[in-house]
Structures are given as C-alpha cells and as structure tokens.
Amino acid sequence: AIWAQMLDPDGQSFADGSAPVRLIGRSQRWEDGNADTPFAEPYKTLVEAPVMVRVSGGQYHLFYSGNWWESPYYAIGRARCPYGPYAGCIKTTLNPVVESDRSVAGPGGPDVFADGTGQTWLAYHGWTASRVSTDDGGARQLRVDRLTFPGDTPQTAAPTDDPQPA
C-alpha cells in the first residue's frame, strides 16, 4: 500500500495529532506480478514509487508504479485524490495509464515536473522494448513525455517537435 502522513513545517517529523492514511493498495489485476505465473512470489505484488501532483482547480492526482519491475507488465497507474493529499484516493478504471508498447517495456518510477515554460512533463524509466532484464541485454532508460490534464484527466504524449526540457 501507499501511505501519507502530514509533516511538521520543518519537514523532519510528523505533525502533532496526524496519523498515517492509506492512499491506495494493490487492488487491480494489472498490479499483480503473480497474475500470470504458475507460482506466487509475494514480493511481486506491489504498488510503489508514488508521486502526487496538484493541477489547476486544486485537484490532486497520484501516479504510481505497479506489478514487478523486471517484467513487461510493470506500468504506471493513476488515482484521483479528491479530498487532498491526506485522504484516500480513488483509482481510475482506465489503469494503467502508461504501459508497454513497441518503444518501451515495463515503464515505471514516475515523476512529474514543469519546465521553464510551465509545460508539465512525466518522467519515468522503461526497458528496451524487447529486452526486459539485464540478463537479456536490456537497459532501463529515462523517458520523458508531455503531460496534460484536459478535462482534469491526465494524458501523455511522447514529444514530437517539442524541445526536450532542460
């Protein structure tokens, strides 16, 4: 599960009276690294690597990774957090929002940032599309896609003629 707890203003301890809040847990089939295997390995059932972003209008979105990192099924999911960063979040039924395709396998480890012009980007790592482990000669590389929120729903697009952020 992914948890949150309010910090003191100094950021070095938890705020008095605050308590941990469970934001999300593993609840969707795509997040289970054991879903398509004959034997279960508990460490492959996870959600991890959270990043929360607040968009215009005050809506919070939680991006996270799910499944097993060394597989083509590792992917990025999203949940809406309508009551802010210290209350539970609601996963979209459209998960995963970034998954393996012809150019990348096992995308994960999301981070969201804005460049100097105010454009929002989603950075993540992904394997070479056909090589999903170092044993296969694969390598995880940094990927950066444009991230927009039309109608408060995030959409990603690989950059085309847009310059890469510095």
pLDDT in tens, the chain (166 residues): 999 999 999 999 999 999 999 999 999 999 998 877 777 888 888 899 999 999 878 889 999 999 999 899 999 999 999 999 999 999 999 899 999 999 899 999 999 999 999 999 999 999 988 888 888 888 899 999 999 988 878 888 876 544 444 4
Q: Is 65 exposed, middle or buried (0-12, 13-18, 19+ CB in 10 A)?
A: buried
**Is the Cα torsion angle 7, 10, 13, 18 positive or negative in sign?**
negative
Task: Please give the backbone phi and psi of residue 65, each rounded to the nearest 5 degrees, phi first.
Answer: -100, 150
What is the pTM assigned to this prediction?
A: 0.89
CA distances from 40 to 61, 68, 105, 108, 114 (A): 31, 12, 22, 22, 40
CA–CA separation, 109 and 40 (whole Å):
23
Q: Which two tokens stand for residue 80?
A: 């809406």
